[in-house]
Amino acid sequence: MAAATFFEHQHIARRNTRVMVILFLLATVAVILAVDAVAATVYLWATALRVPVNHPHPILHAYTLVPAHVYVWSSIATAALILIVSTVSVVRLSAGGEAVAEMVGARRVEPATRDPLERRLLNIVEEMAIASGVRVPHVYVMDNERGINAFAAGWDTANSVVTVTRGALETLSRDELQGVIGHEFSHIVNADIRLNIRMIGVLAGILFIGSIGQFLMRGSRKGDGKGATQLFFLGLSLFIVGYVGLFFARLIKAAVSREREYLADASSVQFTRNPEGIAGALDQIRTGTTGALIHGRYAEEISHMFFGQAINVWAGSLFDTHPPIDERIRRVSPSFIAQSYRERRDTSPPPPVADLPEETGVMALAAPSGRRVGDVGIAWGRSAGESAKLVGTLDACKIDYAGRMLAAIPAGLREAVHDADGARAAVIALLFAPKDEVMHEQLEALRTAGLSTLAERAAAVAPLAHELGPAFHLPVVDLALPAIKSCSEQARNELIVGLKAVIDADRRVSLHEFVVLMLIRNQLAEPERPAASGRRIGDLAAEVRIVLSLIAHAGIRTDATGSRAEALAAAMRAGTQELELAEQPVASRLSLDEVSAALAALKRLAPLEKARLVKALFAAVTVDGTIRVIEAELMRLIGAVLDCPLPPLLDSLDPATLAG
């Protein structure tokens, strides 16, 4: 059976969310019944209600004598409490992965860190993000956790975080750490991270009753007499009821999590092409003194999110959120021999950051027939359907390509994007015109906008940015985004203003500039919990026309000799036919706000409907049987805005030949 595509995984994740909600409702009913039993017991005790001793079932009969309003109000109060706590928890986590990382006390790793272990971790994350087309996540470290573990969190592929424990950072080799991070990237692209956050919020309510019981028992210690005793036993009863919630919470997490862990392990092997990496990491958990255990306050709530089994539970075969380690190792590497691996395992520390190679620059491209780099391309042998299946793929070849691409970026520019001000300057410099006189106009536009300091920084990195062609723009933007997102709101707004000033300065806006600005604006918007995504193509025909028109215009080569109108019509026809829509004329003029609104609406398509849209976009862009650098990068930029991560499409070309 063929592996599920990115969009099918998204669809399955939505289905799992519905299953989780059903299980949550059943758990809520169970907790309500348990609380009703406690309330009735308290009523019987408080009123000293007498029960006929000659009744065949005196205890059950006693509960039938409790007035109905006791059960009704107990049920209403319990249901309201669960709903309120779960809602508050979901709202609290609306910021996404960062909220989860901060909740567990993790520390954000600064992009400019000089710590060798942290630098190695960032390099792995950056390499995998570029290879998969996912935006580079923020990276966090749980400094107080010695167990070997990690988790990914977030609402979507564009706004996620990866968190590792200090134990993983210090214990694992580079290959092992890469295997773990590959596992977490699988969770990111398969929409597991969204389900995981929802699970934290939803389960908070049914776990809260037990917390109330613990609070009452602690409070009873401060009193004395009959009141304190009653308070203690009430707290004890609610604490026991809390175990009903805990039972169901663990059952739900185990039901939803286990198979996804096997899938993430397999995806990590596919991504890294190194089964020993993840098998070795699992072996280190198996042999380590602390294993994968997490000791923080929120270990129970987020246990389903971790790479390894983070908590000890009774009846582990039923309630463990992760499969047994031995079985996981057997599945990813059937021939793995632990003793042999341990003897040859690489334990050398990463080199100091100061020892990294100096800037080497990149090779220049001699474009065939005098064409611009953006017009260089390859024959595209995939159908539209096969092309759409590239979304969200984790491919080892892409990892190799990403490594070569990162090596081709000048070291000075890579250093600049790890600093907040340098990252903003680098993104601005990417859009500077190659002609000096035009670039001077763009710099003057920045100064006129009150951004003189940013203009000077951008001018300083411009020579490095000019060495790079459009194929490098998205990777550089991705590398810069973590530092930019950590800036103040004023600094982020200045970047948007600066990009607009640079784009407008030469009195023409290229499609590439257009979408880069749109992506930056999209990424710097305040993160929020995604709205429901169930729209259909037929409901958004006008928005589809706008985005297809954008792609059709990108397909016009600068050295084209045929009719521009015919080429536009052919691209539009290919896209609309793929969607089975009536053919529509190409929009001749498009505004930034118009395209932004269209993409925002299309982002809300149901997963399988979004797959149809991506197929149509590929049909339009490859209607001539080829795909050029500028087209490939525009597709990737649009995919980034639509939350459809596309890996590098031209990995058959040497990155060094894609310089500007």
Which residue did the predictor score with more confidence, 438 or 38? 438
Which residue did the predictor score with more confidence, 73 or 510? 73
Count CB neighbours of 391 within 10 A.
25
Closest CA to 554 of 641, 455, 628: 628
| Residue ranges in 433-510 assigned as alpha helix (H) | 436-448, 452-465, 473-485, 489-505
Among the ranges given (198-207, 283-292, 367-376), the one the predictor scored with the smallest mean pLDDT: 367-376
**Which residues are catalytically annotated?**
184
* Buried-exposed string 600-636: b where 16+ CB fall within 10 A, e elsewhere: ebbbbbbbebbbbbbbbbbbbbbbbeebbbbbbbbbb
Binned at pLDDT 50, 70 and 90, residue 342 comes out as very high
Tell the residue number behind the tokens 């991506």, with chain if given: 614
Per-position DSSP letters for 401-413, written without gaps between them: HHHHHHHHS-HHH
Per-residue pLDDT at 203 exceeds 70 = yes
Among the ranges given (46-55, 461-470, 480-489, 516-525), the one the predictor scored with the smallest mean pLDDT: 46-55
Binned at pLDDT 50, 70 and 90, residue 2 comes out as low
Question: How far apart, in whole angstroms, are the C-alpha atoms of residue 522 and residue 464?
Answer: 26
**Residue 651: what pLDDT?**
75
Contact between 339 and 287 under an 8 Å Cβ cutoff? The reply is no
Q: Which residues have C-beta within 8 Å of that of residue 522, sequence separation ≥ 6?
A: 158, 596, 599, 640, 641
Which residue did the predictor score with more confidence, 56 or 259? 259
Per-residue pLDDT at 594 exceeds 90 = no
Average the pLDDT over 253-273 and give the result.
86
Q: Is the Cα torsion angle 281, 283, 286, 287 positive or negative in sign? A: negative
Q: In the chain, which residues fall in CATH 3.30.2010.10?
A: 101-195+291-344
pLDDT, the chain, mean = 83
Per-position DSSP letters for 217-283, written without gaps between them: HHHHTT--HHHHHHHHHHHHHHHHHHHHHHHHHHHHHHHHHHHHHHHHHHHHHHHHS-HHHHHHHHH
**Residue 231: what pLDDT?**
67
| Most confident of the ranges 200-204, 291-295, 651-655 | 291-295
Question: How far apart, in whole angstroms, are the C-alpha atoms of residue 153 and residue 137?
Answer: 10
Q: Which long-range contacts (CB under 8 A, 24 or more apart) does 60-63 make?
A: 63/37
Per-residue pLDDT at 357 exceeds 60 = no
- Summarised one tens digit per residue, pLDDT across range 471-485 is 788 899 999 999 998
User: What tokens were used for 161?
Assistant: 């975080």
Q: Is the Cα torsion angle 336, 342, 345, 347 positive or negative in sign? A: positive
Domain 101-195+291-344 sits in CATH 3.30.2010.10: yes
- Beta strands at 138-142 and 107-108: parallel, antiparallel or unpaired: antiparallel
**Residue 224: what pLDDT?**
61
- Beta strands at 377-379 and 626-628: parallel, antiparallel or unpaired: antiparallel
Using DSSP, state whether 294 is helix, strand or coil. Answer: coil
The secondary structure element, H or E, covering residue 107 is strand 107-108
**Residue 277: what pLDDT?**
95
Question: How far apart, in whole angstroms, are the C-alpha atoms of residue 2 and residue 94?
Answer: 35
Binned at pLDDT 50, 70 and 90, residue 371 comes out as very low
| Most confident of the ranges 236-240, 420-424, 565-569 | 420-424
Which residue did the predictor score with more confidence, 582 or 107? 107
**Residue 355: what pLDDT?**
47
**Residue 62: what pLDDT?**
78
Per-residue pLDDT at 600 exceeds 70 = yes
Per-residue pLDDT at 359 exceeds 50 = no
Average the pLDDT over 628-653 and give the result.
84
**Residue 529: what pLDDT?**
55
**Residue 175: what pLDDT?**
94
